[in-house]
Structure 1
Amino acid sequence: MRIQVFFFLCCSFTQTLAQGTHVDSKMADKIISLTAVNDTFPLKSRLQPFIDTIGGASIIGLGEGTHGTKEFTRVRAILTEMLVEEKGYKLIFLENPYGDTYYLNKRINDPAEDISLIMKDNLLSIYQTTEFKDFLSWVRKHNLSAAVKVNIVGIDFVFIQKTTQIFRKEINTLQIPRLDQIADSIEYEAAFQDSMWQHINDRQFKYDAMATVINAIDIYKKIRQIKEYVVTNNIHLSETAEECILNCLHGIDAFYKPSYKQQVLSRDQLMSEMVLHVANINKTKALVWAHNAHIAYAPGFGDDNGGGMGGYIKKDHADYYNIGTITAMGTYSATKDRFDNRDNIFTSYKLNIPSKNSWEALLNKMTPDVFLFYTNNIPSDGFGGLEHRLIGYTEEKKRGSYTTKDIKELYDAVIFIRETSAADHHLLN
């Protein structure tokens, strides 16, 4: 009996191995071999045909499979450098609060400013890394000599006080005391809302949900007062003021809309609105730096923060293109805090062994260590039902954090890096 069982197990293993090898061989001729991410010049050379292929898209999404992987930041920086220098991309949208990014964008072009201090003042902690500092150093260097500067625009709205501060200054230029008073009041109330979010990870802090809702409704009413006044009196608001209004409304969307029986939009819908508004006004090619889940065409998960911003962008810009990044092993940085803000503490963690039924496990069997493939080249048979890992800024779950959404429905292209390392958060920690 034991011999029969052993024979059965051996046959099953051999069959599984043969099937796996067969599937791998189908993908082998579909990949584009790349070099290690740190080998900048050879990597750029290997990427050149890819850049030439995608460089006509009006908006390109550059994703990261975790919010704490060094190589994902580095490869996106290289792609950005090439697309900016060779293909004329001038806008970089960042998954960071609009108001904070507005000040970062201004200060980064001043050589006298310390980039580390700029980052600590104006970036969520997920971006306060050595790798992102290197990228911002490149932006500064590029802009010092470029005829047309690259601009970085925030599309998130977890903090809005700086947005209301910018808005107040724009309103002040109109020299209308009544509007100045309303704008001052909006900034004061935005400070209250920001304080709720900033302290929400503190278990001793008592979050006042009712006060937050009442405060948000008041902000909404005052924004509406200003908009009605400028329309009635035929006053032109600056584009910056219009962007501030949009971002403020995004920041209070979930709080005020239920009171007006309006549909609350998902975070990805709101971020896509900012991307489209700014991109369409500026009429220039743009890049979007965000998590894989957000640059993707469809939500990977079922909640309101499940992703799919790319799908909303695609509806307005049919040539939108996106690139996901994937890894199989190594380390990543994450925080134990439930919500992201400017002072989360990040720690390095080891990635779980990929699920056997995942893209990460399949790609890990292939060579070389770094490669790219177009998802429309994936063979139709043998690749159905594979999971795909998505890790945010918190620790990976014991079983892993996977979406069962077909990878073809998420990305146009994928860059696989077999082994990656945790982002360096020493600027914050």
Structure 2
Amino acid sequence: MSGTLLDDVTAIREAATTLRSPQDLDPLVRRIGRARIVLLGEATHGTAEFYRWRAALTQRLLAERDFSFVAVEGDWPECHRVHSCVAGAPGAPNDPGQALWGCRRWPTWLWANEEVAEFAAWLRSFNATGTGIPCGFHGLDVYGLQESLRGIVGYLREHAPDRVDAALRAFRCFEPYGEDPRDGSAGLVPEDCREEVVRLLTTLRSAARIDSVPGLPPAFAAEQNAQVAAGAERYYRELLRGGVRAWNVRDAHLSDTLDRLLRAYGPHAKAVVWAHNAHVGDARATAMATAGMVNLGQLVRERHAADGVVAVGFGTHRGSVVAADHWGGSVRRTTVAQARPDSLEGVLHDAAPGEDSLYVFDDDAGWAHELRGHRAIGVVHDRGGYVPTVPAARYDAFVHCDETTAITPLHRWEPEADTPVVPARTDPGGE
């Protein structure tokens, strides 16, 4: 080991806070302070420790710092069912696991897993003991187009039947996309789909606004379904053209949805976001910037600098993970090989082998201001890689889980008929 790297390891060891219980998160809670938005990442979509530490911190923020809702890298319709459950909406299931079981779009394991079910059960109990607006659980993503369109039609049939025809016209406009936009027929979607979406949004905004779900204004869910349709129209069209614009459209949608939720919950609302590191870490501190990519973390920092934003990255040295061999493939538990010695995860392992550790960055953390490879693994395991990153510029803090274990999916198989959207080829780590 070179002298410089040895010095880094010594400095890292001195900066580490060993994580064994939620109380060990105190330095991070203090760093968050009065921040309005906290972004919590993950280096993979299938690591149990990432979900558990995010849940532990989120529970503290909801209970101690009056945060209003959790927003995740998930589909709006599926997560809205979970929100209805944890918020105690009439007619919603009492068991969050049952609501999560309804997550049917591949890859289901992102949110339909035992770790999220445990957190959602805690959230439902937490809301049941409170007297104010219940803390929500919402999806930010642009996927789930067909389910969003069905939700719009269902809402209008019940509350504004005279406007159903307008929704059906938009539905028919999107029919060529089907459930899988990889189908070449998607290129046949007419340009006036954009106009149909505008009409659809206008229709929903003028429709009857009743049957509020706890924590949200009346008809918010239906209007958000229309926003998903609008975002999907842009995303799918850019996806077919190739390049980075599809990624940028998607992350702009994530950020726009977060802003709508903050407005809906009120001027004092505060949000915790769960998403992949590729989304929550500031793109300007990575090689993403040179590729012309922006992301949620960058957009939130730019839009809400005055409100306070804290981004927390997560990483692992080795262990196991849930992922697939190919897009649309079956879920399986697979191995995470040891990180490269010169990577961020490699030097953190050398500093605290076998431990979960927290690092809150400051100007004195010279090692965190150096460019290093930072591991990213997506839903397809072998598409992972190392993203050149300046850690202290990308994040405000970092949680390193040295040896990790795979999550436990609620579904032991994946639905064959509902395959995933293929991300742009420039997605970091195949995220």
TM-score tier, shorter chain, comes to: 0.7 to 0.9
Q: How does 1:98-113 map to 2 (within 5 A)?
A: 98-108=76-86, 109=88, 113=94
For 1:415, what is the secondary structure of its paired residue? strand
Counterpart residue number, 2:299:
312
CA deviations 1:172-202 (Å, max 9, x no partner) are: 566462x2211133345556534224xx5xx
Question: Cα distance, 1:229 vs. partner?
Answer: 6.5
Counterpart residue number, 2:258:
275
CA deviations 1:33-81 (Å, max 9, x no partner) are: 221xxxxxxx122113421331411111111110010110111110111
Contact 2:317 2:349 in 1 (8 A): yes
Amino acid at match of 2:78: D
For 2:179, what is the secondary structure of its paired residue? helix
> 60, 81, 98: which one pairs with 1:82?
60
CA deviations 1:246-303 (Å, max 9, x no partner) are: 22111111345799xxx86432122111111221332311111100111111164549
Q: 1:81 to 1:305 in 2, by over 3 A?
A: farther
Contact 1:99 1:161 in 2 (8 A): no
Bigger mean CA deviation after superposition, 107-116 or 353-362: 107-116
CA deviations 1:310-350 (Å, max 9, x no partner) are: 110111211111111111111111112326xxxx5221221
CA deviations 1:192-225 (Å, max 9, x no partner) are: 534224xx5xxxxx542323x33xx454322223
Work out the CA distance in 2 between the residues paired with 1:146 and 1:324: 30
Counterpart residue number, 1:127:
111
Work out the CA distance in 2 between the residues paired with 1:183 and 1:99: 17
Gaps in structure 1 of 5+ consecutive residues: 1-15, 36-42, 201-205
CA deviations 1:328-376 (Å, max 9, x no partner) are: 111111112326xxxx522122112212221111011112612111233
Question: Cα distance, 1:30 vs. partner?
Answer: 1.9
Contact 2:312 2:395 in 1 (8 A): yes
Work out the CA distance in 2 between the residues paired with 1:219 and 1:252: 7
Question: Cα distance, 1:169 vs. partner?
Answer: 4.3
Q: How does 1:373-388 map to 2 (within 5 A)?
A: 373-377=359-363, 379-380=365-366, 384-388=370-374
Contact 1:71 1:421 in 2 (8 A): yes
Contact 2:321 2:405 in 1 (8 A): yes
Counterpart residue number, 2:185:
208
> 303, 314, 321: which one pairs with 2:310?
321
Contact 1:65 1:292 in 2 (8 A): yes
1:295 aligns with 2:280: yes
1:140 aligns with 2:124: yes
Contact 1:329 1:418 in 2 (8 A): yes
For 2:264, what is the secondary structure of its paired residue? helix
Number of aligned residue pairs: 386
CA deviations 1:118-176 (Å, max 9, x no partner) are: 22313651222221221121122222222231111111122122322333344456646
Question: Cα distance, 1:424 vs. partner?
Answer: 1.5
> 351, 356, 376: which one pairs with 2:341?
356
Contact 1:333 1:349 in 2 (8 A): yes
Question: Cα distance, 1:96 vs. partner?
Answer: 0.8
1:337 aligns with 2:326: yes
Work out the CA distance in 1 between the residues paired with 2:276 and 2:119: 17
Q: 1:121 to 1:229 in 2, by over 3 A?
A: closer
Work out the CA distance in 2 between the residues paired with 1:53 and 1:333: 31
Question: Cα distance, 1:427 vs. partner?
Answer: 2.9
1:54 aligns with 2:35: no
Bigger radius of gyration among the two: 1
1:24 aligns with 2:13: no
> 397, 406, 419: which one pairs with 1:413?
397
For 1:28, what is the secondary structure of its paired residue? helix
Tell me the TM-score normalised to structure 2 length.
0.80
Contact 2:46 2:321 in 1 (8 A): yes
